Amino acid sequence: MMMQKSTLITSFSFFIISLAQAQSGYWQQRVEYTMHIKMNVMAHQFDGDQKLVYYNNSPDTLSKVYYHLYFNAFQPGSMMDVRSRTISDPDRRIADRISKLNDNEIGYQHITSLKQDGKEVVYKVNGTILEVTLAKPLLPKAKSTFEMKFNAQVPLQVRRSGRDNREGIAFSMTQWYPKIAEYDYQGWHAYQYVAREFHGVWGDFNVSITIDPTFMVAGTGILQHPDKIGFGYEKPGTSVGKETGDITWNFMAKDVIDFAWTADPDYTHDRAQVANGPELHFFYQKNEKTTESWKKMEEIAVKVFQYLNTHFGKYPFDSYSIIQGGDGGMEYPMCTLILGEGSLQGLSGTMAHEVAHSWFQMTLASNESLYAWMDEGAADFASSEAMASLDDKRNPHAGSYGSYFSLVASGLQEPASQHSDHYSTNRAYSTAAYSMGAIFLEQLKYLIGEDNFYKGIRRYYNTWKMKHPNPNDLIRVMEKTSGLQLGWYLRYWINTTKRIDYGFGQLTEKDGASLLDIKRIGDFPMPIDLVVTYKDGSKENYYIPMNELAGSKPDEGNPRIIAETWPWVYPTYTLKVNKNPSEIDSIEIDPSQRMADIDRKNNKLIMAERAPFKDQTK
Ligand SMILES: [Zn+2]
């Protein structure tokens, strides 16, 4: 009864908050899941009961709803299997492994009963999507309760979810339950599970897992009865009785977009507290490949949380678990599953990336399928800065620029605006999502200045937390914070494959000053930071505004001369430099190297190395 009451109060206050913070016209659906799972650990199967209260906050009447049945992807001939066997650069973790799964190794989720408000509904399964025709249309601002019974087989681990993976984790239970698809202003996002990614409905989860008493369970949410369960969850010093029969673990999570868990008999459970932040839980199998690195990683994880709290906004939950899942890292609400073995450096880098997803996905829940760059790029960006802050590495984003330049050179680049599953190569996807996403933010610093950037990113976080921001929402907050216009930048960087390339033309002397021609060689216009170094060692900074920006960024602490605006249609611009060419030692475009200029060789003019009147672009 208490539980029921507190759920009601939370839903009500959530509604009020949503109204107060809502952007004009913004709405989002809401879910309340209550699930009970009974695991058969020998057969790798489970029976599930799912009660889902679904709130239609949309202005539309819904006659159908869709669920994801992700486990069905792990069957020979599935779209994930065929895609992996036909794409030119398959993910080696998947390759042809799905095609070789036996009947007792495949995954499935079978629905045995489904009712809407007590009435049976008609449904059909198409691959990894369950299409449900409602017994009664769901009106705007109305809710329905769906009651489902299902059984499932956990696939032998291939990617993300599964059992008995190569690091020996018994159950990595991600994408494990029939999950209602998100419906938003773009309609249903009921994508087949081909490879990636996810988009979930905000809501509350109450999950009970009944399992063999030797298994330790870790995952999303807060364990409701730690002193009875033990396994390191109990208050220190509490004595916990040993159970002989199956144990039921009950986890609750509020305002999350998904629920993941793992179970293994050999986990060790450590805890660490972040000052003014969450309690961290670490779950791993202790052995010669993990013991030392996991212990050392704990302190790094605390520092990463502190850095991200300061720079990107406050982590909104009380708890976070870092769990050896036995496959590459994957982010979930309030937890991550990562590979457990390997070097401390690799482990910490993956941990930091997945932790950063707590900001960029588990709080700012962008649609990963459509805008993977918004969460993968931002997570890479934030975690690189957090890790660099620990070891004073000079440029945390150099790797992202390198990957982007290399993709451009390969000829495989595709616009970052594509659906994650529809890139022609995995490489084009990953570079667009991770590297170009990170560069998008670093280059935004270049455009609006570092102070505006961090103010803006925290304002974005606080404005859009627990919602589904899209690219325009991000750029609008940055515009409001900086006073500059940035829509052009979003369109060029994300929707096209246009490239930035600037270089020098002629340098001539006139009335004791220098006239320097700057050439826009690429078809992506940018404002220009430029530094002139004189032979006496002094420097002069210039800033050339570009008219699409409709203004100039602040000076970022370096005095500078603001030159006349460059109307972007002009291929060449002439800058007047105050001193005679004979006094100049060198001139450099973009000395901070935050602009993704694909040819940096022509960005620096060293007077001694060049005939002064030669056009460098010819
Ligand atoms: Zn990621």
Question: Could you tell me the distance, in angstroms and rounded to a whole number, from the CA of residue 372 to the centre of ligand 1?
Answer: 9
Over residues 119-137, mean pLDDT: 98
| Whether the predicted pLDDT of 20 surpasses 50 | no
Question: Could you tell me the distance, in angstroms and rounded to a whole number, from the CA of residue 433 to the centre of ligand 1?
Answer: 9
Q: Give the tens place of pLDDT for each residue, 131-160.
A: 999 999 999 999 999 999 999 999 999 988
The pLDDT, as a whole number, for residue 476 is: 97
Question: Could you tell me the distance, in angstroms and rounded to a whole number, from the CA of residue 131 to the centre of ligand 1?
Answer: 29
Query: CA 404, CA 439: separation in Å to the nearest integer?
Result: 9
**Would you give the DSSP letter of residue 559?**
-
Q: Which residues contact 381 (CB under 8 A, 6 or more apart)?
A: 397, 400, 437, 438, 441, 442
Query: CA 464, CA 469: separation in Å to the nearest integer?
Result: 6
Question: Could you tell me the distance, in angstroms and rounded to a whole number, from the CA of residue 459 to the centre of ligand 1?
Answer: 22
Dihedral sign computed on CA atoms, order 147, 151, 153, 154: positive
Q: Give the tens place of pLDDT for each residue, 350-370.
A: 999 999 999 999 999 999 999
Cβ distance 200 to 369 under 8 Å?
no
Q: Which helix (H) or strand (E) holds 468?
A: none
Over residues 279-294, mean pLDDT: 97
Question: Could you tell me the distance, in angstroms and rounded to a whole number, from the CA of residue 507 to the centre of ligand 1?
Answer: 46
This prediction has a pTM of: 0.93
Question: Could you tell me the distance, in angstroms and rounded to a whole number, from the CA of residue 160 to the centre of ligand 1?
Answer: 13
Question: Quick one: pLDDT band at residue 611, thresholds 50, 70, 90?
Answer: low
Question: Could you tell me the distance, in angstroms and rounded to a whole number, from the CA of residue 239 to the centre of ligand 1?
Answer: 39
**Would you give the DSSP letter of residue 71?**
G
The pLDDT, as a whole number, for residue 442 is: 98
**How many CB atoms sit inside 10 A of residue 241's CB?**
6
Question: Could you tell me the distance, in angstroms and rounded to a whole number, from the CA of residue 327 to the centre of ligand 1?
Answer: 13
Over residues 307-324, mean pLDDT: 97
| Whether the predicted pLDDT of 13 surpasses 50 | no
Question: Could you tell me the distance, in angstroms and rounded to a whole number, from the CA of residue 355 to the centre of ligand 1?
Answer: 9
Query: CA 193, CA 83: separation in Å to the nearest integer?
Result: 11
Question: Could you tell me the distance, in angstroms and rounded to a whole number, from the CA of residue 353 to the centre of ligand 1?
Answer: 6
Cβ distance 452 to 552 under 8 Å?
no
Q: To 5 degrees, how large is the angle CA 346–CA 348–CA 352? A: 120
Over residues 53-58, mean pLDDT: 98
Question: Could you tell me the distance, in angstroms and rounded to a whole number, from the CA of residue 20 to the centre of ligand 1?
Answer: 31
Q: Give the tens place of pLDDT for each residue, 511-532.
A: 999 999 999 999 999 999 999 9
Greater model confidence, 342 or 485: 485
The pLDDT, as a whole number, for residue 15 is: 45
Q: CA nearest 70: which of 225, 258, 249? A: 258
Query: CA 542, CA 513: separation in Å to the nearest integer?
Result: 15
The pLDDT, as a whole number, for residue 475 is: 98
| Whether the predicted pLDDT of 2 surpasses 70 | no
Q: CA nearest 214: which of 282, 263, 171, 152? A: 263
Question: Could you tell me the distance, in angstroms and rounded to a whole number, from the CA of residue 357 to the centre of ligand 1?
Answer: 6
Question: Could you tell me the distance, in angstroms and rounded to a whole number, from the CA of residue 601 to the centre of ligand 1?
Answer: 32
Question: Could you tell me the distance, in angstroms and rounded to a whole number, from the CA of residue 380 to the centre of ligand 1?
Answer: 7
Q: Give the tens place of pLDDT for each residue, 487-514.
A: 999 999 999 999 999 999 999 999 999 9
Over residues 45-63, mean pLDDT: 98
The pLDDT, as a whole number, for residue 5 is: 37
Query: CA 490, CA 371: separation in Å to the nearest integer?
Result: 12
Question: Quick one: pLDDT band at residue 241, thresholds 50, 70, 90?
Answer: confident
The pLDDT, as a whole number, for residue 243 is: 77
Question: Could you tell me the distance, in angstroms and rounded to a whole number, from the CA of residue 569 to the centre of ligand 1?
Answer: 38
The pLDDT, as a whole number, for residue 617 is: 46
Cβ distance 106 to 69 under 8 Å?
no
Q: Among 135-139, 268-272, 324-328, 583-587, where is mean pLDDT lowest? A: 324-328
The pLDDT, as a whole number, for residue 23 is: 65
Question: Quick one: pLDDT band at residue 391, thresholds 50, 70, 90?
Answer: confident
